[in-house]
Amino acid sequence: MESSRLLIEGGRRIEGELRIHGAKNSVLPILAATLLCGSTSVIHNSASLSDAFAAMRILRSLGCTISHEGSTVTVNSADAEGDIVSDGLMHEMRSSIVFLGAILGRVGRCRLSFPGGCELGPRPIDLHLEALRRLGVRITEDHGILDCTAGVRPQSADITLSLPSVGATENIMLYSALGSGETVIRNAAREPEIADLAGYLIKCGAKITGQGTSTLVIDGVPSLHGCEYTVMPDRIEAATYMGAAAITRGELMLGGVRPQDMYSCMSVFSEMGCGVYPYDDKIFISARKPITAVRTVRTMPYPGFPTDCQPIVMAVLSKSSGTSVIVENIFENRFMAAPELRRMGANIKAEGKVAVIEGVKKLYGAKARAYDLRAGAALVVAALGAEGQSEILNTHYIDRGYESIETALSSVGADIKRI
């Protein structure tokens, strides 16, 4: 799909204030969770992102009525009896897999096509399926179609995830919230988005404890009701704009953030030589000094350094003094930004899960392609810090996770246009 392009004239300092939008990776599972209530929920701080719109299309296809005004989405799932997520919708957004637990919890049956792999690698869902089977769900896989039927639930299930999968944790929470029996999830994901999903479900009447820790306990309840809920801020959007300030030697005040979710990100920016000052719902970042290399950045499950910030930090470290090493421990193929950054003059050698970045003094504007959401954002950050004009193609990837990135960046001094 030939999507719009971004034209960026680099070299302008990023300076001013930005308000951060609601988290993409929180609003998606929360929208899925509205299916469980069978009544109306009002979700505030829902960013206008193509992934959020895709989730709303899925909800409508299942029988929900939805309206949205600015960043508030109203979902009435009283008549949501659907049990199929169409192939098209599944392939539009692979994280639609999080609807599986919610649809099964609501109607007891779900058919959807195996989520395709994506740019980041195969994206398996073995942990999701294994856990749901432990909860009595019968799952057959035939020609890429998953056919799931809820069976008798165990009175209590004790599930240990072999890795703290965000999606698997969310699917188990969504399936266990309604019904009977106690479900314990060990080695659960601890990401703040998990606690946000739990916050919404608890407000709907669910009984969940341990969110944010490695052990979650969900006691199924006979019914859930709709509620009014405000989505947490997007820590990855915040880190992206911190990267824009860092690479242009600028200063930025981010508002509407939760610094307590961002310690590992903030510490990497401090190590680069930025002044990072969190307080209340703000973070002030100042990059008056040249960026210095960071010896090693390792991506880890939360509270470690988030994989979603890795491409952004790769872009910033491309224009620094010294050699940095990035180790990507979460996804198999998440250095998609490297070849495009090299077109801008970056000196990056990526092999397997390790990328070595020899900082250069200058980056130069170039024509570059986004191949996935965060690699696309990394190209925008690099273009802001490059000399001359850059043209970023395939910006539909970027629009999945950033609400009008060009409006946000123009408001703090960037010369960026969408064509």
Active-site annotation, residues:
118
Contacts of 399 (CB under 8 A, 6+ apart): 3, 49, 50, 405
CA angle 105, 301, 220 (to 5 degrees): 20
Of 198, 283, 373, 380, the one binding ligand EPZ by CB under 6 A: 373
Query: How many whole angstroms separate alpha carbon 10 and alpha carbon 16?
Result: 17
Please, are residues 418 and 4 in contact by the beta-carbon 8 Å criterion? yes
CB of 365 to ligand EPZ, least distance (A): 25
Nearer Cβ to ligand EPZ, position 75 or 287?
75
Please, are residues 236 and 308 in contact by the beta-carbon 8 Å criterion? yes
CB of 260 to ligand EPZ, least distance (A): 17
Alpha helices in 275-385 (DSSP H): 310-318, 337-343, 373-384
CA angle 207, 209, 213 (to 5 degrees): 150
Which residues sit opposite 282 in a β-bridge? 255, 279
- Write out the two tokens for 235: 């820590």
Nearest to 245 by CA among 217, 276, 224, 208: 276
Does residue 106 belong to the site contacting ligand EPZ (CB under 6 A)? no
Does residue 163 belong to the site contacting ligand EPZ (CB under 6 A)? yes
Of 22, 167, 179, 250, the one binding ligand EPZ by CB under 6 A: 167
Of 10, 21, 25, 175, the one binding ligand EPZ by CB under 6 A: 25
Does residue 174 belong to the site contacting ligand EPZ (CB under 6 A)? no
Binding part of the chain for ligand EPZ, among 82-90, 117-125, 241-249, 320-328 by CB under 6 A, reads 117-125
Of 242, 365, 374, 397, the one binding ligand EPZ by CB under 6 A: 374
Please, are residues 184 and 157 in contact by the beta-carbon 8 Å criterion? yes
Does residue 187 belong to the site contacting ligand EPZ (CB under 6 A)? no
Query: How many whole angstroms separate alpha carbon 109 and alpha carbon 32?
Result: 15
Query: How many whole angstroms separate alpha carbon 273 and alpha carbon 278?
Result: 16
Does residue 261 belong to the site contacting ligand EPZ (CB under 6 A)? no
Does residue 137 belong to the site contacting ligand EPZ (CB under 6 A)? no
Does residue 126 belong to the site contacting ligand EPZ (CB under 6 A)? yes
> Given the DSSP bridges, would you call strands 323-327 and 296-298 parallel, antiparallel or unpaired?
parallel
Of 123, 153, 207, 342, the one binding ligand EPZ by CB under 6 A: 123
Nearer Cβ to ligand EPZ, position 207 or 396?
396
Does residue 96 belong to the site contacting ligand EPZ (CB under 6 A)? no
Nearer Cβ to ligand EPZ, position 168 or 204?
168
Angle at which helix 24-33 crosses helix 50-61, to 10 degrees, equals: 10
Nearer Cβ to ligand EPZ, position 51 or 406?
51
Residues within window 379-418 making contact with ligand EPZ, judged by CB under 6 A: 401
Binding part of the chain for ligand EPZ, among 23-31, 242-250, 256-264, 283-291 by CB under 6 A, reads 23-31
> Given the DSSP bridges, would you call strands 207-209 and 156-160 parallel, antiparallel or unpaired?
unpaired
Does residue 127 belong to the site contacting ligand EPZ (CB under 6 A)? yes
Q: Maximum distance among all alpha carbons in the chain?
A: 64
The sheet with strand 207-209 has its strands ordered as 156-160, 182-186, 215-219, 207-209
Does residue 190 belong to the site contacting ligand EPZ (CB under 6 A)? no
Residues within window 281-340 making contact with ligand EPZ, judged by CB under 6 A: 307-308, 330-331
Binding part of the chain for ligand EPZ, among 163-171, 203-211, 273-281, 345-353 by CB under 6 A, reads 163-171
One-letter identity of residue 83: D
CB of 180 to ligand EPZ, least distance (A): 25
Does residue 33 belong to the site contacting ligand EPZ (CB under 6 A)? no
Query: How many whole angstroms separate alpha carbon 116 and alpha carbon 204?
Result: 32
List contacts with ligand EPZ (CB under 6 A). Answer: 24-25, 28, 95, 123-128, 163, 165-168, 189, 191, 307-308, 330-331, 373-374, 401
